Homo-oligomer: A and B are copies of this chain.
Amino acid sequence: MAKNGKISDAVIRRLPKYYRYLGDLLKNGINRISSNELSRLTGFTASQIRQDLNNFGGFGQQGYGYDAKKLREEISKILGLDHKYKVVIVGAGNIGQAVANYAGFYEEGFEIMALFDKNPKLVGLRIRDLEIMDIDDLKEYLTHHKIDLVVLCTPKEASQGIADIVTSCGVQAIWNFAPTDIKVTDNVAIENVRMNESLYTLVYYYNEKSNNFNN
C-alpha cells in the first residue's frame, strides 16, 4: 500500500483524524479541498499533510487539491475500515456498556457479538439485544467463535489474566480501557485508551489560558 514500505506510527495515528475531517466535509457537501484548507481544519501543517498523504501515492492534483471522497475511501482501505469486525466486550460496567451502547460502532462495521462480566448482578441483564454472559464461559465462547477484537473494560487487577485468555484463544486485537499496561505477544495488536493523558493536557492548557497559578 505504502509507496516506500512501512508507514510510521505517527502517520498512522493521524489517518483517523483525516478520515473524520474528510467525513465532516462530505457531510457538508464539500468534495474538493486543498492541503491549506485541510491544514486549517486539522491543525497539521500543509506540508505535513502533503507528506503524509504522499505515503499512499498522493491523491492530490496540482491546482485542484484533494478529492475528499476518494481520499477518504483510500484512508478507509489503508486502515481496514472497509471490512467488518466481530467484537467481544469483557467487563460490562459503565465503560463496557458505553461501548456497547455507542451506535456509531455498528455503522462503522464493528459488530458486538457478546458481553461478559463476572458480577452475578450483571450476568443475564440485556444491553441492547445482548445478554451479558458469565466470564467463566468466555474461553468456551472464544473457542467456538472467530472474534477479531476484544474490548477490555475490566478492573486493572483482572486485565492481564483476561488478556492471556483471549489471546490464547487466538484473538489478535485488544482495545484496552483498563488503566494499566498489558503484556501481549508480538502477533497481537493492542491499543490503550488513556483518558488521564487527555485530562492532564487539558489541565495544562487550562492553566495557560486562565493564568490561574501565575498571577
Interface residues of A (CB under 8 A from B): 12-13, 15-17, 19-20, 24, 78-81, 83, 85, 93-95, 97-99, 101, 104-105, 108, 110, 148-149, 172-175, 179, 181, 186-191, 193-210, 212-213
Given contacts A80-B206, A206-B80, contact A110 B197 (CB under 8 A): no
Given contacts A79-B204, A206-B149, A213-B83, contact A199 B110 (CB under 8 A): yes
A108 to chain B, nearest CB (A): 7
Q: Which residues of B contact A85 (CB under 8 A)?
A: 203
Number of copies: 2
**Assembled-state Cα–Cα distance A188/B174 (Å):** 35
Chain A interface, >50% SS class: helix
- Are B209 and A199 touching (Cβ within 8 A)? no
Q: Which residues of B contact A104 (CB under 8 A)?
A: 179, 196
Known: A16-B200, A190-B202, A191-B201. 19 other contacts (CB 8 A): A12-B201, A13-B197, A15-B204, A19-B200, A20-B197, A24-B181, A79-B203, A79-B204, A80-B207, A80-B212, A81-B203, A108-B196, A149-B203, A172-B209, A186-B209, A187-B210, A188-B209, A189-B210, A191-B198
Q: Which residues of B contact A79 (CB under 8 A)?
A: 200-201, 203-204
- Are B175 and A210 touching (Cβ within 8 A)? no
Among B24, B80, B196, B204, point to the contact of A78 (Cβ < 8 A): B204
Q: Which residues of B contact A181 (CB under 8 A)?
A: 24
